[in-house]
């Protein structure tokens, strides 16, 4: 059996949930790494110097490339007489954001209203139905179409894409270093604030190590699984099978989670937790990008050119 609708190529995920709920107690550290002899954000290169340095990584462009490649892959399969992937891919949203776009929501609750409505959760994005194959001819077509899906994007598109993906995967672990540069007294300030709001902290030592709302013993909400998650293909049918579409789903917090989230939001504001994490993130991102500036300067124009071609190809099918 073979599943094919899931993205074949995907940049490693970003632990936004842990960024929202926790921060480390490690002391602030200064970086002594030298960037001598390398392109620098403060130099005359083409890298952006304002805001968050990860804006120099073309995450949206990468997703546009994959969007167009996936469309080509689906069209190729349809040409072999297998339209199932094309049908399952209907509704796939065109990329407009990426994990490399830094925003306050990655480091804290952004408003009292959102905290009340969503608690500590968020709505999931678009999820395609599953395509499962018990057809050897289909499997052979998949291999051919995966290989041919890169050709319209250029002879070196696949290699450049994967080289740039590797670079992106080197950037994403920066979050661990952000936690290590926060003020040492921040966890205690957060605990005192939460206690002042009427909550008891059962394990103070653990909370001071990693402040998390889960440590307060309340019940959290969740997301309904939907019919798509329950569906299983029938192996007795030697065909290509498509699961049911996944309906739009929403995270629903419990009342006690919403109440705690509001208190948590105000404590983040009072202690300066979110602003401290954003400041540390800006510093660490700058260091990460400066160390890899030469590769960004080399690959960014190539990715931009491939993404432009990908956008043109995708627009023909939208």
Render each residue's pLDDT in the chain as its tens digit; 318 residues: 555 543 332 323 323 333 333 333 333 333 344 444 444 454 445 788 778 999 999 999 999 999 999 999 999 999 999 999 999 998 899 999 999 999 999 999 999 999 999 999 999 888 888 899 999 999 999 999 999 999 999 999 999 999 999 999 999 999 989 988 999 999 999 999 999 999 999 999 999 998 999 999 999 999 876 655 678 888 888 889 998 887 788 899 999 999 999 999 999 999 999 999 999 999 999 999 999 999 999 999 999 999 999 999 999 866
Please name the residues in contact with 71: beta carbons below 8 A apart, sequence gap of 6 or more. 89, 313, 314, 317
Please name the residues in contact with 188: beta carbons below 8 A apart, sequence gap of 6 or more. 208
pLDDT reported for residue 1: 58
SS3 (DSSP) at 251: strand
Helix, strand and coil in the chain, % to nearest 5: 55, 5, 45
Residues linked to residue 119 through DSSP beta bridges, in sequence order? none
Buried-state track 65-77, b at ≥16 Cβ within 10 A, e below 16: bbbbbbbbbbbbb
pLDDT reported for residue 21: 36
Residue 223's Cβ-count burial label (10 Å; 0-12, 13-18, 19+) is: middle
| Tokens 């960037």, located at residue | 35
Domain boundaries, the chain: 51-103+111-315
Residues linked to residue 131 through DSSP beta bridges, in sequence order? 242
Contacts made by residues 279-284, CB under 8 angstroms, sequence distance 24+: 280/28, 280/178, 280/181, 280/182, 281/52, 281/102, 281/107, 281/174, 281/175, 281/178, 282/51, 282/52, 282/53, 282/102, 283/181, 284/174, 284/177, 284/178, 284/181
CA 3 to chain centroid, in Å, comes to 22
User: Residue 251: phi, psi to the nearest 5?
Assistant: -80, 130
Q: Which of 208, 190, 183, 204 is nearest to 264 (CA)?
A: 190
Please name the residues in contact with 201: beta carbons below 8 A apart, sequence gap of 6 or more. 191, 194, 195, 207, 215, 216
DSSP-derived pairing of the beta strands 2-3 and 222-223: unpaired
User: Residue 198: phi, psi to the nearest 5?
Assistant: 105, 10
* Max CA separation in the chain (angstroms): 65
| DSSP at 185 | T
């Amino acid at each position: 059996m073979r599943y094919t609708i899931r993205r074949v190529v995907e940049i490693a995920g970003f632990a936004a949930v842990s960024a929202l709920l926790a921060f480390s107690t490690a002391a602030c550290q200064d970086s002594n790494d030298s960037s001598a002899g390398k392109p620098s954000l403060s130099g005359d290169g083409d890298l952006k110097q304002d805001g968050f340095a990860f804006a120099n990584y073309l995450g949206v462009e990468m997703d546009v490339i994959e969007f167009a490649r996936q469309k080509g892959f689906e069209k190729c399969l349809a040409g072999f007489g297998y339209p199932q992937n094309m049908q399952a891919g209907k509704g796939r949203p065109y990329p407009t954001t990426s994990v490399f776009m830094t925003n306050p929501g990655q480091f804290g609750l952004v408003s009292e209203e959102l905290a009340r409505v969503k608690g500590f959760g968020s709505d999931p994005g678009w999820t395609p139905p599953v395509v499962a194959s018990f057809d050897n001819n289909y499997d052979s077509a998949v291999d051919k179409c995966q290989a041919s899906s890169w050709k319209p994007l250029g002879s070196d598109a696949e290699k450049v894409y994967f080289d740039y993906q590797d670079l992106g995967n080197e950037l994403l672990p920066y979050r661990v270093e952000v936690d290590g540069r926060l003020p040492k007294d921040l966890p205690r300030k957060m605990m005192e604030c939460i206690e002042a709001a009427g909550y008891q902290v059962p394990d103070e030592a653990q909370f001071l190590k990693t402040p998390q709302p889960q440590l307060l013993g309340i019940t959290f909400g969740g997301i309904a699984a939907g019919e798509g998650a329950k569906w299983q293909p029938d192996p007795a049918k030697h065909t290509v099978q498509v699961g049911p579409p996944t309906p739009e789903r929403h995270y629903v917090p419990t009342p006690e989670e919403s109440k705690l989230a509001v208190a948590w939001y105000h404590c983040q504001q009072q202690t300066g937790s979110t602003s401290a994490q954003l400041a540390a993130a800006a510093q660490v991102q700058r260091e990460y990008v400066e160390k890899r500036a030469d590769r960004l300067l080399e690959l960014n124009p190539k990715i931009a050119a491939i993404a432009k071609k990908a956008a043109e190809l995708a627009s023909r099918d939208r």
